[in-house]
Structure 1
Amino acid sequence: MLETVQRRGRISRVGIARATGLSRTTVSSLVAELLAEGVLTESPGDAGRRTSTSGGRPATPLTLNPDGGGVLGVHLRHAGIRVLFTDLSGGVLGERYRALDVDHLPDDALAYVADTALDLVAAAGRDAGRVFGMGVAVSAPMQSRSHTLRTPSVLADWSGVDIAARLRERIGVPVHVGNDANLGALAEWTFGAARGADDLIYVMLSDGVGAGLILNGRPYEGATGSAGELGHISVIDGGYVCRCGNRGCLETVIGARGLTSAFAHTRGPETTIADVVALLAADDPGARRVVADAGHMLGRALAGICAMLEPRLVVIGGEVAAVGRTLLDGVRDVLAQRLPPAISQGVTVTTGRLGDRAEALGAIALATHSTSAHLLTP
């Protein structure tokens, strides 16, 4: 129910019942408890402008109460950490980012997360007792039921590390862990470019490459939690060795490092994604070629997925998405060439709206949904 309110922004009790399939009696009971807890709030100012379909009492819309509490969200990237503190509606109350070799420094990474989370809550002047949970987005496949890292993990130094338990002990709130691409999809679906779309693919192009799926209005993780590992599809025989141990994975070609390494000969090894964006703005032919090729490569990887799943929307997010239209046009061109018109004409390719915050905001959404039961526990 909270997920429905979060995604719709504001919705009546009747609307919640229709969207969730819950009975009106159940919805009324749950709403009463959440209103009493201060998690939901009514918007009586809108009631006079709304009419009941039965001619009775106007439906009063409900929203998540921004003052009702807070949620923490974390994105453990391969090379950095983002920590967000938001109110229940997703409004950002505090944010910090630190560059760090997360892959090889699990103890340092978790210590930074715990200390920073507590600092953000204190700096926002919020009651620590009203922080309902923390979500953590991790750049690795997860076990679908336990939400722990798959073993063996592409993050070798994190094997055996219980992220949720370690942070729960330090911070004292429920902690829920998920794959970052899956949570990026959840974020864009809940807060961003994919609101209202029930079938979509979110592609995260950053240090790594991953995909998150929303199918038939629900997140889809696969039988074991590894659905969407787009970056580890082999696309070049005998290519560079990937962190997963295979050669020629898509990540080694269109991930941030793979993309910028194409400029090492002409621009030097320190080229960044921001440099590539600047070169595109200056209409540099080499940058156009490299980014267009990356779009074509991504389009080929997506074509088979789109043919099988027929999504309405493909959302491109992550750091590399900043290169913009040239990349998207490359994806669109290949999908138009390789998909039947009946499918390709129904697929929209767009950039995400949440930028670098997407995965951390997805962790916020995960924590909001996963900890809601604690609010109703007697």
Structure 2
Amino acid sequence: MARPTADVRAEIARSTFLAAATVSNIVNELVAGGVVDTVAGVGRRGAIVRVARSAGVVAGIDFGHAHVRVCFADFGGTILGSERAPLDIDRDYRDGLKLALSMLNRLVEQLHDTVSLRALGVGLPAPISADGVINSQLDPARLNRRRHEHAVSERFGVPAQVDNDGNLHALAEYAQGAGLGVRRMAYLKISSGIGAGLVLDGRIFRGRIGAAGQLGHLTIDEDGPLCRCGSRGCLESYVGGTSLTQQFSSFESGLTVREFVDRAVEGDLGARRLIEDAGRHLDRAAAALAQIFPPELIVVGGDMAKAGDVLLAGVRDGLRRHALEPNAVCTEVARATVGARAPAVGAVRAALEAVTI
């Protein structure tokens, strides 16, 4: 739902191509339902239409491999609060939902207003089919083979939208980040593992079974190391932060992915070499995207993206070397801008789609 903050009714009519009387009737219905407020404008401006806080809030939950993050927002998508907590990957999914619920309740209590939760979006780092079922044993929320939306709705008592975290991160970057104004965009999340989200003509592209974008499990060496998915030589085994930190552990053990990337940024030659190599492995995958799904922009996010050009230079070089020149020239590469809470922000935007007035 777009937020028409500071738009008078006539301006809304012009931007939506609706008759002024139609807009006026719709606004009156929304005001009567407590969804929007109207306040007097300044000078000649008519009444300003804005989302009413009393309409309720929506929330987004991001279940990562080792964390859970909760954001909640008003109907305009403005983030009102956010909280992050560690999450044991081996916890039962009910424990994960219980933790998220307690975090959300704590955030809403800080508003000091009586508001109701109207819808919820959830991001999971696993492939999710079109009917809402995970096709992986790697889900930290432990919702394997369950109808997630039913489970989440039952726990929170509101409509729910569940999606892959790569899709939600792509949605956040497209709506308010590096992809703002772009119609075709590919988002690559390079963190502990690898995820991807594809935006086609302004909409998330999920494919027929809902599992599009699983770039991390593209085989680049059939004789390579065993991947957590059960295959060998997956891209994630060469580019994922967990794999790189394990390789770096002979020099310094116990580092998180973020700490490892910090070492590279600070000039550690071993860490930089590993990330440079990761960029070169990533280049062919980026070139394949440019050939098959020619995006205007490839956005790289996740913990590894903090390495900046140490990683992105390989992606740009791969486009130049392995993609047809017209596709390479028309595809920009940029670092994500929304930040670590992007999947939760994307989940908030997905929740807005589930709100019923």
Q: What is the root-mean-square deviation of aligned Cα atoms in Å?
A: 2.7
Q: Whose helix proportion is higher, 1 or 2?
A: 1
Letter in 2 for 1:232: H
What is the alpha-carbon distance in structure 2 between the residues aligned to residue 242 and residue 41 of structure 1? Answer: 53
Of 265, 268, 287, the match for 2:271: 287
Counterpart of 1:135 in structure 2 is 121
Of 284, 294, 304, the match for 1:300: 284
CA distances 1:129-165 after superposition (whole Å, capped 9, x unpaired): 3x22110001111122x3x223455439532434333
**1:288 positional shift:** 2.1
**2:13 matches 1:14:** yes
Q: Which runs of 5+ in 2 are unaligned?
A: none
Instruction: Indicate the larger mover: 233-242 or 173-182.
Output: 233-242
Query: Cα–Cα, structure 1 residues 248 and 33, in superposed 2: closer, same or farther, change >3 Å?
Result: farther
**2:56 matches 1:69:** yes
- Classify the secondary structure of the residue corresponding to 2:228: coil
**1:182 positional shift:** 0.6
Residue identity (%): 34
CA distances 1:1-50 after superposition (whole Å, capped 9, x unpaired): x2xx25x87764235425xxx7777655444433444444568647858x
Q: Which runs of 5+ in 1 are unaligned?
A: 50-57
Of 30, 36, 40, the match for 1:34: 30
Conserved? CA contact 1:141–1:226, under 8 Å: yes
CA distances 1:321-367 after superposition (whole Å, capped 9, x unpaired): 12222111111111111122222111111111111111000000000
* Equivalent runs, 1:262-341 vs 2, <5 Å: 262-268=247-253, 270-341=254-325
* Equivalent runs, 1:1-378 vs 2, <5 Å: 2=1, 5-6=2-3, 12-18=11-17, 29-40=25-36, 45=41, 48=44, 64-65=51-52, 68-102=55-89, 104-129=91-116, 131-144=117-130, 146=131, 148-151=132-135, 153-155=137-139, 157-268=142-253, 270-371=254-355, 374-375=356-357
TM-score by length of 1: 0.84
CA distances 1:44-98 after superposition (whole Å, capped 9, x unpaired): 647858xxxxxxxx8x875545664311110011221111122233333222212
- Classify the secondary structure of the residue corresponding to 2:196: strand
What is the alpha-carbon distance in structure 2 between the residues aligned to residue 46 and residue 197 of structure 1? Answer: 33
Letter in 2 for 1:34: L
